[in-house]
Amino acid sequence: MRRNLVLILILTLVLAAVGLPRLIPRDVLFGNPEKFSPRLSPDGTQMTYIAPYEGVLNVWLKTVGAEDDRPLTRDAGRGISSHYWAKNGEYVLYLQDDDGDENYHVYRVSVATGEVTDLTPFEGARCQISQITYDRPDEVVLSTNRRNPEVFDYYTLNVVTGEITLLQENPGDVLYYDLDWNLRPRAYSQPTPEGGEDFYVRRTADSDWERIFTWEYGDTDSFSIYFTPDNRGLYLADSRDSNTLRLVELDLATGATKVLAEDPDYDIHHGHGDSSFLFDPVTHELQAVAFYRDKLEWEPLTEDVRGDIEFLNGAFDDADYYFSDRSRDDRTWLVTVYDDDRSSAAYVYHRDGRSLEKMFDIRPEINDYTLAPMIPIAYTARDGQVIHGYLTLPPGVLPRDLPLVLDVHGGPWARDMWGYQGEVQWLANRGYAVLQVNYRGSSGFGKAFLHLGDKEWGGKMQDDLTDAVEWAVGSRLADPERVAVYGWSYGGYAALAGATFTPDLYACAVSGIGPANLVTFIETVPPYWRVGQENFFRRVGNPETERGFLESRSPINFVDRIKIPMFLIYGAHDPRVKLSEGEQISAALEAAGISFEYVVYPDEGHGLARPENRLDAYRRVERFLADNLGGRFEE
């Protein structure tokens, strides 16, 4: 049974006399995970995962069922965070950029020898793996902007020979291409002047391009997923004629659509990439889809996986789980499980006999400490809109008049989700109540809710955060004199906006990589954001035609209102929120005589990938919060 707010509050009251549990060391929370990101070899006999080697994240290899783990790569720099098996089973592929600039290269490492080769040694270009299939085991589909930094062309990359062959050149105005299972470009999306997207297809592999429909502006969170097994149709996440993203099958010959799965209140989930959709690895049949309500829920689409999902639902009870990989014969699956008050874990699921074999905890040390449950909550904003979120209370203390950290998610077109989060547990362990809010503009709750956030940066989106704090204060959970606003990316902007637009609400603010000036932020986004920029302008604002409006929503112009201490963090190589945003706001704070701390990490981008930087930043922030809210600090 799922936890609910009443039961958790009762348990909290019972344990309140115990006092806060022992401090969780920061390196347990924010150091490199012990192991994560498991992947399975095509034959199911070997697996890889990411783990530290000499302090740096690398790819490790082991035999399934044996204890012969060994490092496959030995990177000594920024580390590796994502990887894939080539379908021929001879190589593992991984992506890596330079100090956070997001210009990823595709590297190949030989499973037999450990030899590493940069397959895309293109200076200043971003490369992405778009498709991997057993139909072409020696090849992957590569998209890269090496020819034109504003758009991505599509190529086949032979992982054995390194040969790159052009599949489709982007004429300059295509958002993305879809390739069928024979790796032929068969569909693409092109932005319209009104902020929508025209969708073009080739009804057969040899026919001309035809515009088959248009996603109007309100429907542009819709997207194509993959082709059907026979290449005659496409699976879509489609909100046409619906408020929510539905799973739809499109017949390319007729243009007819068939709804396969839908929820009236929640979109089909796409927060974990392909792992939110369960495809047969060889036939390409779509077998299950996930919805994220308060928590993740799987809906089987075919009978051959229904029993598997029912078994996994029972085995993992309250926890969320995703499918990380499957063997070619489909008898072995890798499943990653997420709970809120223990480490996430990786399992091997053997379909024959339906048995589970635990491989590892991602952060096993965290299980030695008392963690706090995450409680789904909802409140009503000032205009009557219902807002969903999560509340995490510090264990061992009475949930009354607590110091509160409002933890604002980035995106903003994303959402907070249930499950273990290092930042949340860190803050709760230090004695803070943690409130996470899926403010209007967050994704997952249907297009009407998403577009309530249009041009509401610093407006109604910020009001939802203010109303969340007032809900917590009015419920006597939070002490109104000890509230902090905290976040990264858009959450960093919201922290700056909270300090300027509601200067009496917060005791302090922590802004990580937050835009301070919306005009300069939009003017300096990466060049490959240009295609589709009209959609972005409609959601945020156009600096050419709405400069005054954007200035009115830019915290940089209201620094004189700030009454509280500020903490700012930026990465020198960030391609999305340039370091100039940090330079502007820090200079303005200094000129206004406002107390602030400002940290720039010279080898980071849009986030902190290096563990030494994470530990340094969280140490500084922890001291800052302790000084201003009175929570605990690890000396």
Q: Could you give the CA distance from residue 186 to residue 169 in angstroms, rounded to a whole number?
A: 13
φ, ψ dihedrals at 408, nearest 5°: -95, 125
Is 263 tagged catalytic? no
Neighbours of 255 (CB within 10 A): 12
Indicate the helix (H) or strand (E) that contains 3. none
**Helices (DSSP H) in 389-502: which residue ranges?**
422-429, 447-451, 460-474, 490-501
Q: Which of 73, 187, 49 is nearest to 130 (CA)?
A: 187
Is 325 tagged catalytic? no
Q: Could you give the CA distance from residue 117 to residue 109 in angstroms, rounded to a whole number?
A: 6
What's the distance, CA 564 to chain centroid? Answer: 30
Is 606 tagged catalytic? yes
φ, ψ dihedrals at 316, nearest 5°: -100, 0
Asked whether the CA dihedral 449, 450, 452, 458 is positive or negative, the reply is: positive
CB 170 within 8 A of CB 148: yes
CB 600 within 8 A of CB 571: yes
Contacts of residue 372, defined as CB under 8 A and 6 or more positions apart, other chains included, come to 340, 341, 392, 393, 394, 395, 424, 425, 428, 429
Q: Which of 275, 301, 272 is nearest to 288 (CA)?
A: 301
Rg (C-alpha) for the chain, rounded Å, is 24
CB 176 within 8 A of CB 186: no
- The Cα angle at residue 531 between residues 494 and 497, in degrees rounded to 5: 10
φ, ψ dihedrals at 42, nearest 5°: -55, -35
Which residue in the block uniquely carries the two structure tokens 């020819």?
147
CA atoms within 13 A on the CB side of 276: 17
CB-count burial class (<10 Å; 0-12, 13-18, 19+) for 258: exposed
- In the set 143, 489, 511, 586, the catalytic residue is 489
What's the distance, CA 498 to chain centroid? Answer: 23
Q: Which residues are catalytic?
A: 489, 574, 606
